Structure 1
Amino acid sequence: MNIGKEPKYKQLMDFIIEYIKNGDLKHNDKIFSENELMEKFNISRHTVRTAINRLVNEGWLYKQQGKGTFVSDPSAHLKNKGKLIGVVITYLKDYIFPDIITGIEEVLSEENYSILLGSTNNKIEKERMVLTNLLNNNLAGLIIEPTKSVFPNPNKDIYQKFIDRGIPIIYIHGHYNNISASYIEEDDNLAGFMATEHLVELGHKNIGGIFKSDDIQGHGRYEGFINCLRKHDLPISEKGTMWFSTEDIGTFYKDESYSKIIIERLRDCTAVVCYNDQIALRILEIFDKAGINVPENYSVIGFDNSKIAESAKLTTIAHPKSALGSKAAKSLIKIINNQNLVIKEKMRPTLIVRESSKKIK
């Protein structure tokens, strides 16, 4: 292997491909071990693994767990066009997600990539099914919004299969703490701080909060919320701070007795920070039915700057949406071209002030 301008992993790839083309390695033959390749070419284990994973992804090789790496069918690499990207998010058709997909699709189409869409409905087993199905396709990469991301990832074994095949992964919106991976997400901690700071600047001293318990975004926004209150030496209302999970959504929207509980828990507050615009809109509905005037008696702020925030004239923290999708797609392409690259970026949110927040009298 000649030491030239090409990365060492690419030179190793070329060496193995040439071996296969010359017939020195045939279909189902086991290739050299990692230690043999490291010693033969004086390269690191990481370099060897990068080369092997890319050859697996391109169809030249395949892996059998516990047995090793073998030569694929000679035509397998021809079937792998390397131009298909898996895109998996929690919900496809509503809220901010169409804008995110548009941002991803615009970038990938310019680079001649196609996308294969999937949704998990924020369900662990649905995520497992979607990822398993995607493994049957010749993916060049995966963009995914994690499911119930605040918990340890229960599908780590499936993600490992993507890694073993050399398929790079980039997370959007959040990431699992028990997996080291690239991600592009909004700075939710800063978003929570900005939302709370806006209410503090309007004179509110007793501020409630409603956050999502099973997604890392909810925890980030809560952390920003309490950081702001501590900065201004304001109390954290434990009674007025509420949590809900994916499975609680139906109760939150349909159970009128739950609405009464919300009003009671927020009674001592004058403002509330809501996990997203959908929750904020539901709070506006609950207040309206109870005769509580917004913003005269109460200020409400959401997150994401969705279309419902515009129509409801809701003060909110704007999510990057299509810009986040675009950046995720561009980052994934960079990683496809250089699998040693790790990208971790948090995008800055923006405050959008509308009519649901007002200076307290």
Structure 2
Amino acid sequence: MATKYNKVKQAIKSSILDGTFQPHQKINSESELMKQFDVSRHTVRLAIGDLVTQGWLYRKQGAGTFCSEKTDETIQQVGLNQKNIAIVATYISDYIFPSIIRGAESYLSKQGYHVSLFSTNNDHEIEKKVLEKILTQQYDGVIVEPTKSAVHNPNINYYLNLERLNIPYIMINAYYDELEPLSIVVDDEKGGYLQTEHLIELGHTNIVGIFKSDDIQGSKRMKGYVKAHRHHQVAIKPNNIITYDSKEKATKPVNDLYNILTNSIEVPTAIVCYNDELAIKLLDVLREKNLQVPEDISVVGYDDSFLANVSEVKLTTVDHPKSDMGIKAAEVILELIHQQQGERQNKRDKVTSVVFDPKLVIRSSTQSVSNKIVNQELLFE
């Protein structure tokens, strides 16, 4: 009983928060809700009664039940007389994300803002719950790292509702293309191009590219990989592009690379990796195949993370602004908030998206094919 009642209540609340039901719009009738959720009229009336008491809905005698305006009753106060920003990241404590978050949090704190951190774990259902929480609390603005930005997002309505409620938001690292939001990103296509061109200029023509397919960063880096091959008129071998999604990241890149190294007549001489984390993981595969980096195979990472310097092989990689991205995101969201609150006299100064220009950081994980040939000749002398 309690489970069914909560299911109905949460579904109605979600439809309000994602904008399906607008203020003063009539919601589904009791009979429709009974049919939709396969519950009794008593269960429906309990759920609606609770939402009326909490200020989410109101009744009109003889007309039905309607969606209320957003009021203090439906907004949980994050902090009285406190300025609040929500930061939503796919991960909070992993990889380069702490540096990005620290940059934003430090800047916002100095400006007198309290920061609430949320993690989606790159999962749409968790993102939905986070957005619902944000919409039921009092935030001045939101900084969001999108979840699986390269695939359809079922939570788009929540972002549209943020816009309807005049809550400014910006996106970092990636963006949902269909929303055309303000964003703070790296030119990932150029980054993928730089990774690949570096290897081609070293004489490599058999280059494996491994990219994450459900994040827009991965699709753009793969585009840069292809673009570099086209520009330098180097053919891409049919099996040399490996893609994987968030659920597959622990196994598919490792297994697919192992198969290529085992079954290819011509073993690849270089690998372009989606990020440094993947590059470090693949070093184990290369060791298992008795391939040394860079003597037998060159490897390029992405992000210039702390991992690039902790392994026995120092990674050639593409830099990521990390803390600077966080600071820039904080600056932009505050500018939007100030404009929203009418604190900027000159509103002609339009706030725009920011694209950081990537640069290649060359270390010891790459070398020219000619050096590889010399090393092989020395082995046989």
Cα 1:258–1:241 change in 2 (3 A) is closer
For 1:173 and 1:297, the matched residues in 2 are separated by: 33
Code of the residue aligned with 1:233 in structure 2: it is Q
Identity %: 38
Other-structure match for 2:242:
242
Matched position secondary structure for 1:98: helix
Question: What are the Cα deviations for residues 210-239 of structure 1, in whole angstroms up to 9, with x where unaligned?
Answer: 000100000010111111110000012221
Matched position secondary structure for 2:136: coil
Q: Which runs of 5+ in 2 are unaligned?
A: 1-22, 25-55, 59-64, 341-346, 371-381
Code of the residue aligned with 2:185 in structure 1: it is E
Question: What are the Cα deviations for residues 40-64 of structure 1, in whole angstroms up to 9, with x where unaligned?
Answer: xxxxxxxxxxxxxxxxxxxxxx999
Code of the residue aligned with 2:174 in structure 1: it is G
Shifted more, 121-130 versus 76-85: the winner is 76-85
For 1:272 and 1:84, the matched residues in 2 are separated by: 44
Residue 268 of structure 1, CA deviation: 3.7
For 1:183 and 1:285, the matched residues in 2 are separated by: 36
Cα 1:162–1:290 change in 2 (3 A) is same
For 1:258 and 1:96, the matched residues in 2 are separated by: 25
Cα 1:77–1:152 change in 2 (3 A) is closer
Other-structure match for 1:206:
206
Residue 151 of structure 1, CA deviation: 1.3
Matched position secondary structure for 2:151: coil
Other-structure match for 1:333:
334
The TM-score with structure 1 as length reference comes to 0.76
Residue 264 of structure 1, CA deviation: 3.6
Other-structure match for 2:362:
353
For 2:325 and 2:106, the matched residues in 1 are separated by: 12
Matched position secondary structure for 1:238: coil
Other-structure match for 1:227:
227
The equivalences for 1:117-156 within 5 A come to 117-156=117-156
Residue 201 of structure 1, CA deviation: 1.4
Matched position secondary structure for 1:297: coil
Code of the residue aligned with 2:354 in structure 1: it is E
Is contact 1:240-1:265 (8 Å) kept? no
Code of the residue aligned with 2:332 in structure 1: it is S
Is contact 2:89-2:120 (8 Å) kept? yes
Other-structure match for 2:258:
260
Other-structure match for 1:344:
353
Question: What are the Cα deviations for residues 274-317 of structure 1, in whole angstroms up to 9, with x where unaligned?
Answer: 00011111221100111011101110001011111111211110
Is 1:319–2:320 an aligned residue pair?
Answer: yes
Other-structure match for 1:298:
297
Is 1:169–2:169 an aligned residue pair?
Answer: yes
Code of the residue aligned with 1:332 in structure 2: it is I
Residue 259 of structure 1, CA deviation: 5.4
Question: What are the Cα deviations for residues 240-293 of structure 1, in whole angstroms up to 9, with x where unaligned?
Answer: 11001101023248x7x5553242477542111000011111221100111011
Indicate the RMSD between aligned Cα atoms, in angstroms: 2.7
Other-structure match for 2:374:
none
Cα 1:128–1:73 change in 2 (3 A) is closer
Is contact 1:273-1:302 (8 Å) kept? yes
Residue 134 of structure 1, CA deviation: 1.7
Residue 343 of structure 1, CA deviation: 2.2
Code of the residue aligned with 1:161 in structure 2: it is N
Shifted more, 139-148 versus 77-86: the winner is 77-86
Is contact 2:300-2:366 (8 Å) kept? yes
Code of the residue aligned with 2:308 in structure 1: it is A
- In the comparison of the two structures, how many residue pairs are matched? 298
Cα 1:89–1:198 change in 2 (3 A) is same
For 2:140 and 2:152, the matched residues in 1 are separated by: 26
The TM-score with structure 2 as length reference comes to 0.72
Is contact 1:82-1:140 (8 Å) kept? no
